[in-house]
Copies of this chain bind each other. A is one copy, B any other.
Amino acid sequence: MHPLDETDRAILRLLRADGRMSNAALAEAVGLSPSACLRRVRLLEHRGVIRGYTAIIEETAPRPGVVVMVRITLERQTDEAMRRFEEAVRRCPEVRECYLMTGDSDYILRVEARDAADYERIHKEALSRMPGVARIQSSFAIRSVIRG
């Protein structure tokens, strides 16, 4: 594994500040030609240093729904399988938190749904269709003692 040099770190810092900044502007800011810069960015993406890009959405209404803690085990634990799963997780707005855990190397998700029926829909249409999912274990919260 190559360590990140100063240029790589500058790229990461700039892309974290503005994920939609053009490659041309990024290249100029770090002092590279656009093609060399793009090659570094693609390499950082492929190595998993950049896991993806996302829009920061203003959360309007913190709705008082059902909280479900979900444990998900993947069929395989390859980097590629994990990356694909995590991409699907980030795409699902009902998943409020997600942690990759030690142990059986599965994930813990905190999912918020409007009610039990809504969670059933999320389970069927989103969670169970995520790539590489082998097992889903759902635990419903009765009450939030300290909220996230």
Contacts and interface: CB of A to CB of B under 8 A. Distances in A.
A54 B97 CA distance: 17
Chain A: interface size category: 35 or more
A95 B102 CA distance: 19
Interface stretch (A31-39, A117-125, A128-136, A137-145): A137-145
- Dominant secondary structure of chain A at its interface with chain B: strand
Q: How many copies of this chain does one complex carry?
A: 2
Contact of A141 (B99, B147, B148): B99
A72 to B, nearest CB: 11
Name the residue among A13, A52, A99, A108 with the largest chain B CB count within 10 angstroms.
A99
A146 B98 contact: yes
Contacts of A102: 139-142
